[in-house]
């Protein structure tokens, strides 16, 4: 529990001044932030939800090379775009920009964002205006392609913490699909790094999802699988019960065997498609939300 609280506070400290933009010159993007419990290597970033790992390398003062260490996309180059926060003001020279510390400052007078072509998305994506120099949130239309944090990949959790998925007794339902168009799926444990996924409505062929489970601000499992139309989807589940069916919390003492607070699996693809699956394991109550 103490580790969970510490990492939550660490991530919150990076985002603490989200109301203000940050000026992030290239050297600041490669500078490790002094944030408790987040181990950092100058070039290494990882997906907060996908857990994919990325290497960023210096090219010049306005460009960064990005390499996916999981082969999620082909090597690419990001343009570092710095603009005055108040274009109508007198101080529009980037040389006068105030550098941000690990978190942004209300005195920021410039904004920073990145632009890069991602082969898996098939288009140029822009990041949101950076609130700190330690988090990059890439946007794809109205959704998020992925949020990256400047930190090494989290340490994997023990295999014993892996939630139990039983395809014979538990079914997932896609949120928002009803009646004859309702979509159902089973998820079955293969081992501590893989699950078998089957669409009961033929939405996609039977497939295997690779997964990672890590300790963090909240216990979480990251999935990668080929789902609808053969596209690669990433999935995130916030585990509420280590080793329990579908990551639900365990039955409470003195009460009937009811699982509760069952988390959903939130899937997303590089081109912006999303799918939210809720467990129908019974009995249960208080299902989780896909509003990650």
Per residue in 146-202, pLDDT tens? 999 998 888 788 877 788 888 888 889 999 888 888 899 999 999 888 999 999 999
Using an 8 Å Cβ cutoff, are 225 and 209 in contact?
yes
pLDDT value of position 104: 54
Rounded to two decimals, what is the model's pTM? Answer: 0.78
How far apart CA 213 and CA 222 sit, in angstroms, is 6
Identify which of 37, 40, 39 has the alpha carbon closest to the alpha carbon of residue 3.
Answer: 37
Q: Which helix (H) or strand (E) holds 226?
A: strand 220-226
Parse the chain into domains and list their residue ranges: 2-149, 159-285
> Is residue 56 over pLDDT 90?
yes
> Is residue 115 over pLDDT 90?
yes
Token pair, residue 25, equals 């010159």
Token pair, residue 234, equals 């990433």
pLDDT value of position 101: 56
pLDDT value of position 253: 67
Q: Considering only 126-140, 168-182, 208-222, 226-240, which range has the smallest mean pLDDT?
A: 208-222
**What does residue 274 show for φ and ψ, rounded to 5 degrees?**
-135, 150
């Amino acid at each position: 529990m103490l580790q969970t609280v510490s990492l939550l506070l660490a991530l919150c400290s990076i985002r603490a001044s989200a109301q203000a933009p940050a000026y992030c010159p290239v050297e600041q993007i490669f500078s490790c932030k002094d944030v408790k419990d987040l181990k950092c290597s100058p070039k290494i970033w990882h997906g907060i939800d996908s857990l994919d790992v990325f290497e960023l390398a210096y090219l010049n003062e306005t460009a960064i090379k990005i390499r996916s260490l999981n082969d999620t996309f082909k090597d690419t180059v990001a343009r570092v775009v710095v603009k005055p926060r108040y274009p109508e003001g007198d101080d529009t020279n980037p040389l006068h920009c105030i550098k941000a510390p690990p978190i942004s400052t209300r005195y920021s007078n410039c904004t920073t964002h990145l632009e890069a072509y991602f082969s898996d998305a098939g288009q140029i994506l822009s990041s949101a205006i950076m609130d700190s120099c330690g988090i990059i949130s890439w946007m794809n239309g109205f959704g998020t392609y992925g949020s990256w944090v400047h930190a090494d990949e989290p340490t994997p959790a023990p295999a014993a913490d892996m939630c139990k998925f039983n395809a014979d007794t538990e079914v997932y339902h896609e949120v928002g699909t009803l009646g004859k168009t309702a979509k159902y799926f089973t998820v079955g444990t293969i081992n501590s790094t893989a699950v078998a996924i089957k669409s009961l409505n033929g939405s996609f062929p039977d497939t295997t999802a690779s997964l990672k489970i890590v300790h963090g601000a909240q216990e979480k499992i990251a999935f990668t699988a080929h789902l609808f139309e053969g596209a690669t989807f990433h999935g995130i589940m916030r585990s509420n019960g280590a080793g329990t069916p579908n990551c639900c919390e365990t039955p409470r003492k003195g009460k009937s065997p009811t699982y509760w607070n069952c988390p959903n699996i939130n899937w997303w693809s590089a081109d912006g498609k999303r799918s939210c699956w809720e467990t129908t394991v019974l009995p249960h109550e208080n299902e989780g939300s896909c509003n990650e």
